[in-house]
Structure 1
Amino acid sequence: MGMISRVRGRIRSDSFSKIHTMKSEDKIANIVWLLSLVLLLPYWAPRGLLVALGGAWLMAAYTCLVVPVLISANYHYPARWYPAVARLAQEVARRLRAPGACLLGVVKTVYAPLERAERLFLQMNNLSTMISQLLVFTACDRLFVSQGRLTCLYSLMFYNVITYSVNYVRELCTKEDWSPYVNVTRHSRVKHLAMSATKIVLEWTKAVTFIVTITFILLTLGLEQGLEHFRPTALYTAITGTYYLLTERTFLELWPMALSAMKLERLEGMEALYCGVWARGVTTALAIPLVPALAWYERWRLSVLILYVCVFMHGRHRLGEALVKMNEACDSLAKFRRATPEELSTLEDVCAVCLGSMKSARVTPCAHFFHADCLRRCLATSDRCPICVRPYVFC
């Protein structure tokens, strides 16, 4: 009886239960790891098992449901060899750091001429923008239009016609001199006959071209079903239209104006900088999913071109430059605190730089209030207060 009691006591003891729990957790971790391998097998199936069964939508749904569950399960039940693998990877990275830095320097030296060519290509803004638009449109044509050929060219032509119309309407709205004549000098009333004739011909040419353009748009909309190879889908139109509106220079100049009309005080007059970052970020994000999709359908050349031109070049240079400008603007204002609503209500003053009312402002160390954008522009030329001309001293 005493032996039986001692055995029962050991079974009920905490030490034995801890060993048993540890072993059970290891078993659960190994089971979770094996199940993860099994559930990830469809991604390695030839020609895509899920895509063959239900298309890309089934693949996306399977990814959204299964991958988060696998990550969570492996996080809660990590196998014992996970930390060992992590430590081994860190050790290998540490040992390869010096050769890697040397190799990186060689790569940068070799890549330098190509980088200069990239910057020269991006300086030709119209050409680089048109090529990136054509690449994205062609990718959407291959992925979302089943039987349509040259849909990308028709769409790009149609968008360019709309852009020309918007430019002409904008020119009419902002035009101040409606006189058909050109004076010899600014303050003279003598008409310059040759220049006046040239201006009249030019204005009539613009008007006729605009009328022809509007007629072309109406014919295109009316004969859309009659175009043999023009078969855009809703997804194709949404992606290409968004990409075009966020890359074309005409609309890039209009978005800050529209955002300024909303009078969002949190932007502090930096609508142009925010629009530049948002536009280039969205266009890069639109181009990234096209790369694996094209590779899935074995469109390797187009996939590499979009990865290099639309993702790498535009993301690295244009998005990077926009981010640098916005960060510089935010960093220059970071030392100046925001004025509270109580301070602005008791101040009842205008900005000394632009003479505009202040619904939001920044306060200098010398207790002067300015619009954030006005203060940022002053900081670009001087580090002294525009009112008292004292250098800024921060405690």
Structure 2
Amino acid sequence: MGMISRVRGRIRSDSFSKIQTIKSEDKIANIVWLLSLVLLLPYWAPRGLLVALGGAWLMAAYTCLVVPVLISANYKYPARWYPAVARLAQEAARRLKRPGACVLGVLKTVYAPLERTELMFLQMNNLSTMISQLLIFTACDRLLVSQGKLTCLYSLMFYNVVTYSVSYVREICTKEDWSPYVNVTRHSRVKHLAMSATKIVLEWTKAVTFIVTITFVLLTFGLEQGLEHYRPNTLYTTITGTYYVLTEKIFLELWPIGLSAMKIERLEGMESLYFGAWARGLTTFIAVPLVPALAWYERWRLALFVFYVCVFVNGRHRLGEALFKLNEARGSLARFRRATAEELATLEDVCAVCLGSMRSARVTPCAHFFHADCLRKCLAASDRCPICVRPYIFC
């Protein structure tokens, strides 16, 4: 009798408890799955239940709070059919891989002429940049401005005036030859009368045009004449202004100069490459959320144009090219170690390429120190040390 009692007790304490635990976990997993369906129902409501109740901010807050909880709960308590569905998907992907590769090859062949057209479009840099800016401005017009259908055109014109003013001021600041005369030859002191007169007229024309432009812009905004359809808000100005300064050529040239003045050592003199990748990535990031927002308000054609031109074409070609150049530059320097602070303190020397002081440097196998960007430019021409002309041998 004692043995029978012990056997019964062990069965009750071990086997049944395990079976009950398994059943309990299955129940929890099924409850989690059903609750996930219920909590995701607001996304499938017609015209958006959350947007109708509290606007886009309520939908964003609901997404940030609920979606991470649902993902973690389903990860901790997975239903039994989750692994089966995953295995079925893997098996289907394996069977469709070979036909899919054939279909992908056909699609690439068909897409090749369109890709060449995209590259030709991007080579016309001014036109492609203006079209992408106009698309983003129009999308912000439709989403952020309730009244004022011409806000995008007014904004683009105003930003172009600012760009013209910045370029003219930059030309004045970087100008070296202030002489109003033009010599017949470089080393001659004889003045060319016709060319000198043309130069004087051109310089005065640019100065008068600049003054008149600034005056009319100030009068227009001060008197608010002809701006009935110009209704920008803070968010609209922030998005469009950021996109404009990250795509316009003159600003793309000025921002790396500002980064160089900050002397960030981790950039190693490659500010133009880093900023090119950051600017292309940020402009693509700005355009991405506009596509579903336009689709939500049934602006299908504008959403398609924004996705194709501003997200797909610019992201695939311009962002891809910027990232490729940056990764190529970093990869060429990866073989050379960074100089330590102690080595730079004891060296007290200048870079042999640019003759500038070295706050950060790369060290060659032959123990010579160069700026990272200077070494990168030398590597593009030769695989030998610029000082001792020895080939680089890495242990």
The two structures share one fold, judged by TM-score above 0.5 = yes
**Residue 111, structure 1, aligned to residue 116, structure 2:** no
What are the Cα deviations for residues 263-300 of structure 1, in whole angstroms up to 9, with x where unaligned?
01110000000010000000000000000000000000
TM-score (norm 2): 0.97
Which SS does the other structure have where 1:181 is aligned? coil
> Could you say which residue in structure 2 is the equivalent of 1:249?
249
Cα deviation, residue 114, structure 1: 0.3
> Could you say which residue in structure 2 is the equivalent of 1:160?
160
Q: Give unmatched runs, 5+ long, in structure 2.
A: none
Cα deviation, residue 2, structure 1: 7.2
Cα deviation, residue 111, structure 1: 0.3
CA contact 1:294–1:300 (8 Å) conserved in 2? yes
CA distance in 1, matches of 2:202, 2:41: 66
CA contact 1:384–1:390 (8 Å) conserved in 2? yes
CA distance in 2, matches of 1:57, 1:236: 17
Describe the shift of the 1:40–1:224 C-alpha distance in structure 2 as closer, same or farther (beyond 3 A). farther
**Residue 377, structure 1, aligned to residue 386, structure 2:** no
CA contact 1:224–1:230 (8 Å) conserved in 2? no
> Residue type of the partner of 2:196?
S
CA distance in 2, matches of 1:327, 1:36: 42
Cα deviation, residue 216, structure 1: 2.3
CA distance in 1, matches of 2:271, 2:37: 48
CA distance in 1, matches of 2:7, 2:39: 43
Which SS does the other structure have where 2:247 is aligned? coil
Indicate the larger mover: 289-298 or 17-26: 17-26
> Could you say which residue in structure 2 is the equivalent of 1:44?
44
> Could you say which residue in structure 1 is the equivalent of 2:332?
332
Describe the shift of the 1:183–1:212 C-alpha distance in structure 2 as closer, same or farther (beyond 3 A). same
**Residue 179, structure 1, aligned to residue 184, structure 2:** no
CA distance in 1, matches of 2:78, 2:224: 58
TM-score (norm 1): 0.97
> Could you say which residue in structure 1 is the equivalent of 2:235?
235
Indicate the larger mover: 220-229 or 101-110: 220-229
> Could you say which residue in structure 2 is the equivalent of 1:259?
259
> Residue type of the partner of 1:136?
I
> Residue type of the partner of 1:305?
F
> Could you say which residue in structure 1 is the equivalent of 2:274?
274
CA distance in 2, matches of 1:280, 1:343: 36
Cα deviation, residue 6, structure 1: 6.1
CA distance in 2, matches of 1:216, 1:244: 22
What are the Cα deviations for residues 316-353 of structure 1, in whole angstroms up to 9, with x where unaligned?
00000000000000000000000111111111111111
Runs of 4+ off more than 3 Å: 1-8, 223-226
- The number of residues matched between the two structures is 395
**Residue 146, structure 1, aligned to residue 150, structure 2:** no
What are the Cα deviations for residues 176-204 of structure 1, in whole angstroms up to 9, with x where unaligned?
11111111011111111111111011001
CA distance in 2, matches of 1:2, 1:27: 36
CA contact 1:344–1:360 (8 Å) conserved in 2? yes
> Could you say which residue in structure 2 is the equivalent of 1:14?
14
CA distance in 2, matches of 1:43, 1:4: 58
CA contact 1:10–1:16 (8 Å) conserved in 2? no
User: Within 5 A, what are the aligned runs for 1:259-338?
Assistant: 259-338=259-338
> Could you say which residue in structure 2 is the equivalent of 1:35?
35
Cα deviation, residue 54, structure 1: 1.3
CA distance in 1, matches of 2:120, 2:345: 51
What are the Cα deviations for residues 214-239 of structure 1, in whole angstroms up to 9, with x where unaligned?
11221233134862100001110000
Cα deviation, residue 11, structure 1: 6.7
CA distance in 1, matches of 2:66, 2:224: 42
> Residue type of the partner of 1:329?
A
> Residue type of the partner of 1:108?
K
What are the Cα deviations for residues 236-273 of structure 1, in whole angstroms up to 9, with x where unaligned?
00000000010000100000000000001110000000
CA distance in 2, matches of 1:203, 1:226: 31
> Could you say which residue in structure 1 is the equivalent of 2:359?
359
Which SS does the other structure have where 2:386 is aligned? coil
Give the % identical residues: 86
> Residue type of the partner of 2:39?
L
User: Within 5 A, what are the aligned runs for 1:88-127?
Assistant: 88-127=88-127
CA RMSD after TM alignment: 1.5
Which SS does the other structure have where 1:315 is aligned? helix
> Could you say which residue in structure 1 is the equivalent of 2:390?
390
